[in-house]
Structure 1
Amino acid sequence: MPIQSYLSRCGFSADAFSADFYQQVTDFQQQLATLTPAAEVKWQFRVPELGEGGSCSLFGQLADEPYDLTPILGGQTDANQQLLAKVTAIVQFYQVNSASHWFGVYQRRHNPAGETVLVKLAYFGAESRAEFPLTAEFAAISNNSTVGLSGQGRIINNVAAYLAQGGEYYTCDPKVQAEACLPLVDANGDVLGIIDSEAFTQNLFDGKELALLIAVALTLPALLA
């Protein structure tokens, strides 16, 4: 998908970005295209305990059992191993090139209970929730679910101000001061998943940092379709 078309799909004004910004996105896309799959992937990862009703994570309290991707992906097949290896390589590239403190790639899938969710395929940073329900109810408190349902991007460079204005927000880590959540869409504009990045400082997601995020968002759909 062309950069301008993606920005419009996200709800951003393509005219608001400079020629230099578009070139930065293109440069990152070219680098991402040359990545080799990661040597190791994680099929299981630790997750926080969920609060009453499963609506929120209890920060600092980890569940006894790790989350296992095997059931929701349909088994540890060669194809799924390759998917995770390629997604992990992109996450590692992002970590090297960004000042973000947390980043995750989520795919839209049906879990074993038959629920439509965003499932975390790979990430770096503190332990966090593995699945986000794609429901209007959960979107009322979650940017991830909101973006996953609407396909509209969310850039929040001051979380405290956003909350003060009544914005919905799912707090995984109280240190987070800025967040960027972007949809992963196919050529038809259908949402395949999201990426989510969080920082412990305000005003990170602009300029080159935002260009990197958009390049990643444009690269991942080919793997997830």
Structure 2
Amino acid sequence: MSNSVSLTQYLQLSGLAEWATPAFTAAVAEQQQALQQYLQQAADTAVNWQYQVPELGEGGACSLFGVLAAEPYDLTAILGGQTAANQQALSKLSQITAFYQQQAGVAWFGIYQARQNPAGEAVLVKLSYFGAPSRAEFPLTAEFAAISNNSTVGLSGKARVINSVASYLQQGGEYYTCDPKVQAEACLPLYAQSGRILGIVDAEDFQPEVFNPQALALLVAVCLTIPDYLPAV
């Protein structure tokens, strides 16, 4: 039994009810089936417990683009240890990430879970990704949400699709810049079957207008699958 909501519930909760057309529903179902087949056939994937992160600038922003912190981020503490269950969860999330990379062809993608870090702060922690190094934790606070789509979606549960970052900024939108080459972003929530927000996914590309209905159907299919494989909180 799935730990996620149905597609209809997902679109309603995330503020995307207008996407619920027969064509979009069929595209999501096709991608879900393909992803499940991929997961069934995939061999266990090596887990990266550590990954490089940028030095953070003033206010915690990734203003020092291309400058990496001396120490990598380690997931061990925030996940409660390198247990067999956590190892299996991260392996499956890595497989989902690999599937999305193969199918989507975008520049960057990350899976984030809402958790408390060792300091007791509510954050989104990056569990699996591909692309350039980026920050590991996004604070789940109203203050940080004022500049971050990730934190905004993690708190509100409402999706944000920005197909032109330049136009978004011109219209007065706040944008957290970690890689200045990013021209389009789709940030979508993850839900438990109860409707509780479990985290987010974030996809980015260096070209504008890439998140068309077909691309978003793939991303929604991924969002409906991930909750079954997240580490226990």
SS in 1 for 2:64: strand
Secondary structure at 1:89 match in 2:
helix
Query: Over aligned residue pairs, what C-alpha RMSD do you find?
Result: 1.2
Q: Match of 2:35?
A: 32
Tell me the equivalent position of 1:11: 15
Structure 1 residues 60-69 or 26-35, which shifts more?
Answer: 26-35
Question: Paired residue for 2:178?
Answer: 172
The unaligned stretches of length 5 or more in structure 1 are none
Match of 2:168 among 151, 162, 168: 162
Q: Match for 2:24 among 5, 21, 24? A: 21
- Per the alignment, in what secondary structure is the counterpart of residue 203 of structure 1? coil
Of Structure 1 and Structure 2, which has the larger fraction of its residues in strand? 1
1:221 shift after superposition: 1.1
* Identity between Structure 1 and Structure 2 (%): 62
Letter in 1 for 2:9: S
> Which letter does structure 2 place at the counterpart of 1:24?
A
Please give the secondary structure, in 2, of the residue aligned with 1:120: strand
Identify the structure with bigger relative contact order (alpha carbons < 8 Å, sequence gap 6+).
Answer: 2
- Pairing 1:51-130 to 2, within 5 Å after superposition: 51-130=57-136
Q: Which consecutive aligned stretches of 4+ in structure 1 deviate over 4 angstroms post-superposition?
A: none
Q: Give runs of aligned pairs for residues 141-160 of structure 1, distance below 5 A.
A: 141-160=147-166
Q: Deviations over 1:45-101 (max 9, x none)?
A: 000000124244411100000000001011111000001000000000000000210
Distance (whole Å) between structure 2 residues aligned to residue 188 and residue 156 of structure 1: 28
Q: Unpaired runs of 5+ in structure 2?
A: none
Aligned residue-pair number: 224
| TM-score between the two structures when normalised by the length of structure 1 | 0.96
Measure, in 2, the Cα distance between the counterparts of 1:37 and 1:128.
27
In 1, the alpha carbon distance for the partners of 2:45 and 2:199 equals 24
Deviations 1:186-224 (A, max 9, x none): 112110010000011111111211000000000011222
